[in-house]
Structure 1
Amino acid sequence: MDASPPRYRRFSRPGPAPQSAADLPAYTRRNTLAQPVAHREPVEHVYPLADGKGRPWASMTLRSSAKSGKSVPTFYEKEHINGSFQLSAEKGDSIQSIIATVTGRIVTGSSVDDTYTFHTQSVPLWSKADSRASGAATKLLGICVFPFSIPMPKAVSIKDGGRDTLFRLPETFLERHTRASVSYEISITVSRGKLRTDSQIKTRFGYIPTIRPDPPSLLRQLAYRENSLLPGPAVDPAGWSTSSTAVVSGTVFKTRQANVHCMLSLANPLSYTRGTVIPCRLTLESNDTQALDMFSAPSAPIATLRRCVRYQNPSTSSKREVDWMESFEDVCRAVWWPAPDQNDAPYSRCLEGEIKLPKDLTSTSSIGRFGISYTVVVSSFDTVGFSPSSSQPVLVEPVTIATTHARDSPRPNAYSPPAYAPLPVPRQHHDFYAVQATARMGR
């Protein structure tokens, strides 16, 4: 009588599922992630300003890279904020100056102390005093148009731990379930005399920095160009970053102890452009073949891209200590399939996988009291009959989320077979929680 344990392969999708790498359905390598992005012509956004009777007398026009004029204006790194200000000045209007101001802020709460301005830039469009000095007319009359082009800096210098530190401007970040936010605003202020009320037009806009990963290994680039299989760590060691070995211990069917050794490999460099994928490999080893079969089912490993938003709350701090808050969210999940190049070793299994990154994923950033970071986390294994002895994450590897593609390199391909389509973590059902950490001043 054959006493060998049954082999386990668990799949989360209905219908017949392949039982081994050799039974995988035939499919064509997809290259949907490598399509070039079409150049988008600037669109106009118009913001009118009306008087007390509802009659428009001034307007601000912005030209940006947004999808449409009804969307929030969007500007990329190295782009100028281009636009114009138009007003209809009546006789006797005591306008003293017209100033455009760009502001970047971090907001971590409802208190005034919870708002921190990390960037401000003012550009005078017109001044009565300057007109007088130059011999020009000192009063505005009729339809007047003032074009402007305001360059955004790539980085700003702010105090961090008592020292001036240069930080790249962070991407706009605003989510309903996260208290901290990064916002940018442009305003135009029309200043009048002491006894007259000033007027102002303002609007928020989106800012996207240029974060570019280094090119992948030459063998990986070749695979992308030829639309062929990605070489594994044994063939292309420069193309992968492999973690140290983690041991998952637990009980199999409540009858015996078992240990499974796990190693996670992520594609080098550990920086990935949103809208593409993170190539992954998971190596499992154990002398318990039943536990090994349970862990190597493609639906078993739970690996996610976890985002951490870390921010400071000065208004709740004492004089000597500063409170930091951290919120975590699993934004997308890896999909796995048996690696086609795995060996036939009886005590070893290898899964190939990828994490598909949303196109709207906020990029990695860090500036003073605010930061967004990412890690790939193997948190557990979804197996029936195995009870782990610990609920701690199995493996955690930091990664960077970029906004644009590597220079002079082919764009990554998606490799998951159709039978193993990605299972993204729905935004409305994200795993979200917050913890409070205390750090000394001068961090």
Structure 2
Amino acid sequence: MPLNRQAAYRHRRSLPNPDVDPDSWYQLQPTHITGTYVQQQDLNVVYTLHLAKPISYCRGTVIPCWLTIACEDTSALNIFSDPRSPRVRLRRFTRFFDNRTPDNYYRESAPPAMYLQVGAVGNMGTSLPPKIAWQLAQRRTLVRNANLGSGEVPALSFGDFDDQTDDPKALDPSDDDDEREIGSGAVWWIPQDLTQQPGLRKLMGELHLPRGLQPSCPFPLFNVLYRIELLAPRSHAFEPHLTSSLSSGKDGTTPLETHEEAEERRDHVYTSLTVEITTDMRSDEPRPIPSPNVYDESLNPRNIPCCL
């Protein structure tokens, strides 16, 4: 953790923003989102998201965020810079692999950084027998059933890798991918003592990490990945443009959207970054605390003052 950020936590001060301390923040590429404003005007808004370095965060803490919003239309900019408008979320991707998966699937389906920790065993999943993958699928079913009732989940024993049974079952990646949003997204507020510039707005924010969050796992057979994603702003006055299939028809009218198209427009990810979630902090670093501007009961179930 950068020293300036440590000092801010120890002295209960606001974190220095990227303009003051750029070395303590990781900047994602500026993201242009175009769309229709108030059903008649084409508009372009530029979001630049910063995340506190390093991009490794302990569960039960927070992920500090900084967002700059640029737009030439002042009225639209005021809407987009409302703390309730920006949409930044944390998503978890859980993947099970099998020995029928193509060799390049591992490299293409997850960021390369996740495999730097795996080393030479990066493709070990391609040499395991189908029985192992089938056992993983069976255990996953048992876990789900146990969560619904009071059953116990037996320990999974891989046994002898040479014990090839005649059971042909093996996991298919499409059956075992599990993606879900963690929490309710980032919370934002307008920084104090900050002069906003014309055509530009800046917001401070946080993503709150639950205490019981599963940590990141780069194991080839079982990946747990986390990504921070930027979506279109939350506004009834702005409709983002996405695909040509949603454009106007030959008669100049806009075709009615299907439920799937509306969902795609709402949940389209414009930019994302893979981050690491850990189980504990370094003992020589202060623990990140939620800002006094926001409060999340899941981070503080015993009603302990957030600044203690």
Taking structure 2 as the reference length, what is the TM-score of the superposition?
Answer: 0.62
Please give the residue correspondences for 1:14-413 in structure 2 after superposition, counting only pairs within 5 Å. Answer: 216-314=1-99, 323-324=172-173, 325-332=176-183, 333-390=185-242, 391=265, 392-413=268-289
State the alpha-carbon separation in 2 of the partners of residues 295 and 363 from structure 1.
33
Please state whether the residue corresponding to 1:366 is helix, strand or coil: coil
State the alpha-carbon separation in 2 of the partners of residues 362 and 246 from structure 1.
29
CA 1:263/1:297 → structure 2, altered by over 3 Å: closer, same or farther? same
Alignment counterpart, residue 290 of structure 2, candidates 367, 391, 414: 414
Larger RCO of the pair (alpha carbons < 8 Å, separation 6+):
2
Please state whether the residue corresponding to 2:181 is helix, strand or coil: strand
- More helix by proportion, 1 or 2? 2
State the alpha-carbon separation in 2 of the partners of residues 288 and 423 from structure 1.
37
Please state whether the residue corresponding to 2:287 is helix, strand or coil: coil
User: Which structure would you say has the larger Rg?
Assistant: 1
State the alpha-carbon separation in 2 of the partners of residues 400 and 384 from structure 1.
34
- CA deviation after TM superposition for structure 1 residue 368, in Å: 2.2
What letter matches 2:33 in structure 1? V
State the alpha-carbon separation in 2 of the partners of residues 229 and 345 from structure 1.
20
Q: Is the 8 A contact 1:272 1:400 kept in 2?
A: yes
State the alpha-carbon separation in 2 of the partners of residues 341 and 328 from structure 1.
39
What letter matches 2:62 in structure 1? V
Taking structure 1 as the reference length, what is the TM-score of the superposition?
Answer: 0.44
State the alpha-carbon separation in 1 of the partners of residues 97 and 193 from structure 2.
47
What letter matches 1:398 in structure 2? T
Name the residue aligned to 1:118.
none
State the alpha-carbon separation in 1 of the partners of residues 32 and 192 from structure 2.
24
Q: Deviations over 1:231-271 (max 9, x none)?
A: 00111112110100000110111110110000110100000
Name the residue aligned to 2:155.
none
- CA deviation after TM superposition for structure 1 residue 423, in Å: 9.4
Name the residue aligned to 1:174.
none
What letter matches 1:394 in structure 2? Y
Q: Is the 8 A contact 1:270 1:400 kept in 2?
A: yes
What letter matches 1:310 in structure 2? R
Q: Is the 8 A contact 1:335 1:421 kept in 2?
A: no
State the alpha-carbon separation in 1 of the partners of residues 276 and 79 from structure 2.
31
Please state whether the residue corresponding to 1:375 is helix, strand or coil: strand
Q: Deviations over 1:69-128 (max 9, x none)?
A: xxxxxxxxxxxxxxxxxxxxxxxxxxxxxxxxxxxxxxxxxxxxxxxxxxxxxxxxxxxx
What letter matches 1:355 in structure 2? L
What letter matches 1:331 in structure 2? I
- More strand by proportion, 1 or 2? 1
- CA deviation after TM superposition for structure 1 residue 384, in Å: 1.8
Q: Is the 8 A contact 1:356 1:422 kept in 2?
A: yes
Q: Is the 8 A contact 1:355 1:422 kept in 2?
A: no
State the alpha-carbon separation in 2 of the partners of residues 270 and 405 from structure 1.
13
Please state whether the residue corresponding to 1:306 is helix, strand or coil: strand
Q: Deviations over 1:129-177 (max 9, x none)?
A: xxxxxxxxxxxxxxxxxxxxxxxxxxxxxxxxxxxxxxxxxxxxxxxxx
- CA deviation after TM superposition for structure 1 residue 369, in Å: 1.4
State the alpha-carbon separation in 1 of the partners of residues 240 and 284 from structure 2.
45
What letter matches 1:408 in structure 2? D
- CA deviation after TM superposition for structure 1 residue 387, in Å: 0.6
Q: Is the 8 A contact 1:335 1:422 kept in 2?
A: no
State the alpha-carbon separation in 2 of the partners of residues 280 and 423 from structure 1.
20
- CA deviation after TM superposition for structure 1 residue 222, in Å: 0.7
Note the aligned Cα RMSD (angstroms). 2.2
Q: Displaced runs of 4+ in structure 1, greater than 3 A? A: 313-317, 420-424
- CA deviation after TM superposition for structure 1 residue 322, in Å: 8.0
Q: Is the 8 A contact 2:196 2:202 kept in 1?
A: no
Structure 1's unaligned 5+ residue stretches are: 1-215, 425-443
